[in-house]
Amino acid sequence: AQKVTQAQTEISVVEKEDVTLDCVYETRDTTYYLFWYKQPPSGELVFLIRRNSFDEQNEISGRYSWNFQKSTSSFNFTITASQVVDSAVYFCALSDRGSTLGRLYFGRGTQLTVWP
């Protein structure tokens, strides 16, 4: 069975601090995708990144970076020099590549609050 665990329910930081959001996943598939989505207070879901299970190379995009480690089944997300606009709920998700192509399994989300 597929499962995504985001153990951090809420995180509060002060602006300019770095913050890491944890994500641990379970799957029996050897081929899968991992995702991060952002849900700002306005409620829409914003796609941030997708990672293929065969590509463990870390990725950086501006202040965002992602650390994918298959050995620990983790896909952590770091925001460097956080800003108030980063305040949102962040979801980690897993997509299997079996018969239900594209089906997403979400973690419960981490509420990030960045204080000025």
Partner 1 sequence: NAGVTQTPKFQVLKTGQSMTLQCAQDMNHNSMYWYRQDPGMGLRLIYYSASEGTTDKGEVPNGYNVSRLNKREFSLRLESAAPSQTSVYFCASQYNDQPQHFGDGTRLSIL
Question: For binding to partner 1 (CB under 8 A), which residues are involved?
Answer: 4, 9, 33, 35, 43-45, 47, 50, 91, 93, 95, 97, 100-109
**DSSP track, the chain:** --EEE---SEEEEETT--EEE--EEE-S-SSEEEEEEEE-TT---EEEEEEETT----EEETTEEEEEEGGGTEEEEEESS--GGG-EEEEEEEEE-SSSTT-EEE---EEEEEE-
- Minimal distance in Å, beta carbon 68 to partner 1? 16
CB of 2 to partner 1, least distance (A): 10
CB of 102 to partner 1, least distance (A): 5
Measured from the CB atom, the residue of 80 and 97 that comes closer to partner 1 is: 97
Closer Cβ to partner 1, 13 or 97, answer by number: 97
